[in-house]
Structures are given as C-alpha cells and as structure tokens.
C-alpha cells in the first residue's frame, strides 16, 4: 500500500512567491466578483443582452451560476455577507 506523499517544504523565497500569488488571485477574484455584482444588480447587461445569464454566457464565457459564485466570494470577503453557519 502506497502512503500519501507529504507536502513539499517550500524555501523562504517560494513562501514569499506563494503568498504574492495568493494575494494576486484573491484581488483578481474580488475585482471580478465586484464587477459581476455591479453588472447584475444595476442591470448593465441590458444594453446587449436580455438576461444576466445570456451576458455571462456570451461575454464572460461562464455560466451565470459561476458568476453568482464569484459574486458570493466578493460579498463574503468584503464583509457584506456572512457565511450561513
């Protein structure tokens, strides 16, 4: 039976890079979630699409459900929405 591999220990430089990239990913997710939130709530999609769903599919190339997840991430991490537990 094979044992699971232990996580690789990162060098101090790799730890710094990892934190930098985590921060970048978080900031990008926040910007994207905020953008979808504004587009959906202000109905800014209506100039080109009849629904938020169609806008997400055609422009963002994601499902409306994926956009809603990004909106939830933004709202939660900006302190506007607590987790339901």
In a domain, 20, yes or no: no
3 belongs to a structural domain: no
Q: For residue 63, tell me if it sits in a domain.
A: yes
Confidence class for position 2, pLDDT limits 50, 70, 90? confident
pLDDT in tens, 13-57: 999 999 999 999 999 999 999 999 999 999 999 999 999 999 999
Confidence at 80, pLDDT banded by 50, 70, 90: confident
Number of domains observed in the structure of the chain: 1
Which residue did the predictor score with more confidence, 9 or 19?
Answer: 19
Residue 61 lies in a domain: yes
How much is the CA Rg of the chain, to the nearest whole Å?
Answer: 18
Cα(81)–Cα(5) distance, integer angstroms:
37
The count of other CB atoms within 10 Å of the CB of residue 3 is 5
pLDDT band at 8 (very low <50, low <70, confident <90, very high): confident
- Would you say residue 66 lies in a domain? yes
Query: Residue 5 falls within a domain, yes or no?
Result: no
């Amino acid at each position: 039976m094979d044992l699971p591999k232990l996580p690789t220990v990162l060098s101090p430089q790799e730890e710094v890079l990892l934190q930098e990239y985590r921060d970048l990913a978080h900031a990008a997710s926040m910007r994207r979630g905020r953008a979808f939130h504004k587009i959906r709530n202000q109905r800014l999609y209506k100039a080109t699409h009849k629904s938020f769903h169609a806008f997400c599919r055609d422009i963002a190339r994601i499902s409306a459900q994926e956009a809603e997840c990004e909106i939830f991430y933004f709202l939660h991490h900006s302190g506007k929405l607590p987790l339901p537990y």
